[in-house]
Structures are given as structure tokens and as C-alpha cells.
Amino acid sequence: MAPSLFPPQLHVFVRDWLSANNVLLRSADGHVLIDTGYVRHAPLTLALVASERGIGAAPLAWIVNTHCHSDHIGGNAAIAAKYGCPIAVPAREAPLVEQWDQKALLYDYCDQRAERFTVDQAIGPDTTHVWGDLEWRALAAPGHDMGALVFHNAEQRILISGDALWENGFGFVMPMEVDAAALPAARATLEMLSNLDIRVVIPGHGEPFTDVKGALERALARVAAFEADSLRVARHALKVNLTFALLDQRRLPLADMPAYFDRVGLYHDFNALFFRLPASDLAGLLIGKLERAGAVKREAGWLVPANPTAG
């Protein structure tokens, strides 16, 4: 067996693109779970946490979120209800959750679902937390989400990166015209991460990886491509969100897609800002691109994911 990348009290439940990975940090002082997946997968998340690789029948002390997008907080309410444990979120997002600002949090605005939960603690950047007998420094990681945090353990050189850095890229960012600060922040966050001592990254999606330098290079190259072409940023955001909606809803009726693009805020607003096309043309354009990329297919009047993922 390959030597483990992690100390024994740290376990990563690698999930899929609908549910972000869950990081369990076990300790006699109380177990902590970082990120809880998407709401539709909440029963599976509960089962994983209570499994042998999880905490079995023991209590959970805290839920912590890297950021409050739907695929990271979807199990918060169900897990907090089961364990009676408090929830900590990044300080910049706490008021958005308290107001349940579904546009700022990109829930109904992107046709995503989430179960409302209560914030018990707001975590500020540059604060230190002991979870799983390890000291974690919370660092601001704006870009994909302007309030996001990453957590760094200097001793084991582990980074819990959320959607700020993946092995191949990072979570979609807003175009300049929507948020002028987003892309510069994504670049600054990657530059900040390249100055940290990191042996292994636990990303929000995908397997943990150790080629940190390579991942940072790929991510910075993507930022540069985005900086050169705002329309590409906008198209990417829409494609990612449409693929996500298909993973969530399994299939969408093709005949309804123009109305869907008019109805769902993100598509409607981006079309008005960037594309200025009849909704049916924009739908056709994006679906065509996703089909050619092998992400979606048309099946008897339905748009379906080309590679449906389970779990």
C-alpha cells in the first residue's frame, strides 16, 4: 500500500462535481467536518460521516465551510440537525447566509438548491484553528467566491483549497463586467498560494494531489486566458452552471431550454450583458459547445449529462 498522504486523524471523502469533497478531522477534543456536499446528496453525506471511515456513532463537534456555494453547504442543515453541532462559515459570507441572499450565494440565481441553515461562528481570515489535533490557518482566497477561505497546516504542509485551486483549474469566476474584482483576486490568491509551503492539496473537487507547482501553473495560465477574453469567462461560467444543473436534475427538457435561459437569472443577465441573442440561440450555442466537449447529449427530447456521475 502506498504511504498515506495524511495523518490518520484526517480522512477525505472524495465526492463528485455535484457534491464537494468532505474533509473529516478527528480528535478526542471533537470531530470537525469541512464542507458537506450538495443538498440532494445529504443522505449519502450523513452515511459517510457515520461510517467506519468516518466517526461511527461518535458526536460531531463542528461543521466548517470553505465557502457557501451550494455544493459545499448542502448537508449543513441535515448534519447540524442530526448532531446538534454548530456551523462556522467564512466571515464575509456569514451575513449573506443570515439573510439567505440566494442571488449573492448563487442558489436560485443559478438554479441551484440549498437548505437554509444557521451560522454559529464567522471565521475571519488570518485566524488559527485547531481541528483534528492540527493547527490550521484560515487564509482569504477570493476569486471564484469573494468570501472563500482556504485552510493551511504548516506542520504537515497540507492545504484544504476549496474551489480556489484544483488539480486542473479552479471554480468558475465572474467576468470583469459583473465583478471587476474577481479575476484579479483569483490571480492574487494563486500567487499567495504559490508562496505557501504545500506538500499536498485537498481540493473541493477531485482527488488530493501533490503536484502543487504544476496545478498552480495550470491555474495561472487559465487566469491569463480569462484576462484576455471576458466573453470566454462568461461562456465558461454558463457552461459550468448548466452542466451542474444537469448533474442535479439528471435531465432538462430541450423544448424548455430557451424559456430556462430567460427564467434563470445567471443566463438571463449574462445574455443581456454579453451575448444579446434570442434565448433559443444562446441555448443552442452553449448546448452545442457542451455536446462537442462531450459533456452533454440530446436524448429523445431531453438534455442529459454525457457522463452521469453517481454519489
- Residues making contact with Zn ion (CB under 5 A): 69, 163, 171
Looking up cell 438548491, which residue turns up? 113
Q: What angle do CA 195, 201, 205 make, to 5 degrees?
A: 130
Q: Where are the alpha helices (DSSP H) in the chain?
A: 42-49, 70-73, 76-83, 94-99, 182-194, 212-228, 230-249, 257-263, 265-270, 279-292
The C-alpha angle 198, 9, 48, rounded to 5 degrees, equals 105
**CA 145, CA 89: separation in Å to the nearest integer?**
13
Distance CA 254, CA 242 (A): 13
Which is closer to Zn ion, CB of 104 or CB of 285?
A: 104
Comparison of 88 and 106: residue with beta carbon closer to Zn ion: 106
Of residues 163 and 248, the one with the C-beta less far from Zn ion: 163
Contact 244, 112 (CB under 8 A): yes
Strands (E), 95-178: 121-123, 127-131, 134-140, 149-153, 158-162
CB of 218 to Zn ion, least distance (A): 18
Shortest CB 148 distance to Zn ion, Å: 7
Query: Are 267 and 261 within 8 A, CB to CB?
Result: yes
Chain centre distance of CA 118: 19
Considering beta carbons, is residue 75 or 171 the nearer one to Zn ion? 171
Which of 69/239 has CB closer to Zn ion?
A: 69
Closer of 147 and 171 to Zn ion (Cβ): 171
Rounded-to-integer distance, Cα 267 and Cα 6, Å = 41
Whole-number minimum distance, CB 204 to Zn ion, in Å?
A: 6
Q: Which residue is nearest to Zn ion (CB)?
A: 69
Compute the least distance from the CB of residue 300 to Zn ion, in Å. Answer: 32
Comparing CB distances to Zn ion, the nearer of 163 and 167 is 163
User: To the nearest whole angstrom, how small is the minimum distance from the Cβ of residue 6 to Zn ion?
Assistant: 23
Residue 250 has φ and ψ, to the nearest 5°, of: 75, -40
Q: How far is the CB of 171 from Zn ion (least distance, A)?
A: 4
Beta carbon of residue 128, minimum distance to Zn ion (angstroms, whole number): 24
| Spatial distance between the Cα atoms of 306 and 203, rounded to a whole number of angstroms | 24
In the bound state with Zn ion, the residue whose beta carbon lies nearer, of 34 and 254, is: 34
- State which amino acid sits at residue 34: I
